[in-house]
Amino acid sequence: MILNLLFPNRCLRCNRIITSKEIVCELCFDQIHFTHYLFNANNLLKEKCRLLFPVENAYALMQFEEESLSREIVHQLKYGRREKIGKTLAEWVTERVDFGNDPPDFFITVPLHAKKLRKRGYNQLHLFADTLSKHYGIPCDHNLLKRNANRRAQAKKDRVHRAETDSLFTCTHEVTDKHILLVDDVFTTGNTMSSVAWEILKSGNNRISVLVMAEDY
């Protein structure tokens, strides 16, 4: 209580005091550029994925534009030690996404390298995916994938070096005949997602769908 009085939660955009469960105020919420995609319909993200790997469905919650509020939200989640933002983003997803008649069998998250995980203290995807898992009643596996190398974040690399994702991941155990939803924060060039997808596809007769917090335009 005392900490809340001394250090109240403030809107990421305008710095207005807000409740502890919020990340932006009601006025700034309208500045978030949501994609308004439908999970089970064609959209720009699905088209991008199809150029890289076979995909069933794809969904991005927000547009990840320069100087946008969505970019600030994701950056605060990843680098500002505000893990709880992941729960709020997941709640926004559940208000918008219906898996219809072909729900995934389980979710998986893109892992951080152990060194980066120790430095950050958490994987920014875990609370996000776990909140989705609880809402939809679909299990989430954070351990299926292992990251083999510690590479610089995609957002901090030029386009040439973003392609350096060969053998970036391996599956820790065999998975076959499953519809798997890949969960990540930002879809940029799609190279990381593609590396993950092909590793799972070659593991067995699996199908892939994609869900990300934001899509980089």
Tell me the whole-structure pTM to 2 decimals. Answer: 0.88
H or E stretch including 64?
Answer: strand 58-64
CA–CA distance, 36 with 38 (Å, rounded to integer):
7
pLDDT confidence of 139, banded at 50, 70, 90?
very high
CA–CA distance, 56 with 40 (Å, rounded to integer):
8
Q: What is the mean pLDDT of residues 43-60?
A: 97
Most distant CA pair in the chain: distance in Å?
A: 55
pLDDT confidence of 160, banded at 50, 70, 90?
very low
Residue 166: pLDDT over 80: no
Contacts of 112 (CB under 8 A, 6+ apart): 120, 123, 147
Label residue 1 exposed, middle or buried (CB < 10 Å: 0-12, 13-18, 19+). Answer: exposed
Label residue 91 exposed, middle or buried (CB < 10 Å: 0-12, 13-18, 19+). Answer: middle
Q: What is the mean pLDDT of residues 193-207?
A: 92
Q: 18-28, pLDDT tens digit by residue?
A: 998 899 999 99
Residue 74: pLDDT over 90: yes
More confident residue, 105 or 149: 105
Give the three-class secondary structure for 95: coil
More confident residue, 49 or 156: 49
- The Cα-based distances of 67 to 33, 70, 86, 108 in angstroms read 12, 9, 20, 29
Residue 126: pLDDT over 70: yes
Task: Return the DSSP state at 179.
Answer: E
Residue 217: pLDDT over 90: no
pLDDT at 141: 95
Top-level class of domain 32-216: alpha beta
Contacts of 140 (CB under 8 A, 6+ apart): 106, 107, 108, 109, 129, 130, 132, 133, 183
CATH 3.40.50 in the chain, residue ranges: 32-216
